[in-house]
Amino acid sequence: MPGVASVSRADGIRATYDRIADEYVQRIFHELDGKPFDRELLDRFAAQTRRTGVIVDLGCGPGHVTRYLHERGARVIGVDLSEGMVRRARELSPRIEFHVGDMRALPFEAGTVAGMVSFYSIIHFELDALTHGVRRVASRARAGRAGARCLPRG
């Protein structure tokens, strides 16, 4: 598929995030405290989806956005390519479900999720792969629901 990060590139991304997971947590886990605009967007998204089904946080990293949504009553699952990030997410938020996975090959059937969110992880896509990825994500969201949200790009 043109524009999608190659397997070797994905392996490099995974290895990098596995290696820096602990430092990433120290620098990023509490970042939403100083980002009122991001919190407002997430608050609205949680309110739109909290009674309609599960939200998937794609490229969840240490799970700080996943946790924020969970704390606002959303049913949310975090998915990240990096085992190191998922390990830290599970340690920091043990009551939330996290999985190692690739956002380009999600295991969800069409119509099984209320919406998806992705902060800072779509930077690893080229534009045509991003377009394909967003369409694929949107097809997984329930018809007539809040749908896919990708915020912010970088």
pLDDT in tens, 118-149: 888 877 766 676 566 556 666 666 554 444 44
Say if strands 75-80 and 115-118 run parallel, antiparallel, or are unpaired. unpaired
Is the pLDDT score of 72 beyond 90? yes
pLDDT of residue 151: 45
Domains and CATH numbers, the chain: 7-150 (3.40.50.150)
Encoded amino acid at 3, one letter? G
Q: What is the pLDDT of residues 97-116, one digit of tens each?
A: 999 988 877 777 767 788 88
Cut 0.75: pTM above it: yes
| CA dihedral (7, 110, 146, 67) positive or negative | negative
What's CA 86's distance to the chain center, in Å?
11
User: How high is the pLDDT of residue 136?
Assistant: 64
**Strand pairing of 75-80 and 147-150?**
unpaired
pLDDT for 140: 60
Q: Is the dihedral of CA 19, 123, 24, 42 positive or negative?
A: negative
35-57 residue pLDDT tens: 999 999 999 999 988 888 899 99
Query: Cα-atom radius of gyration of the chain, to the nearest Å?
Result: 14
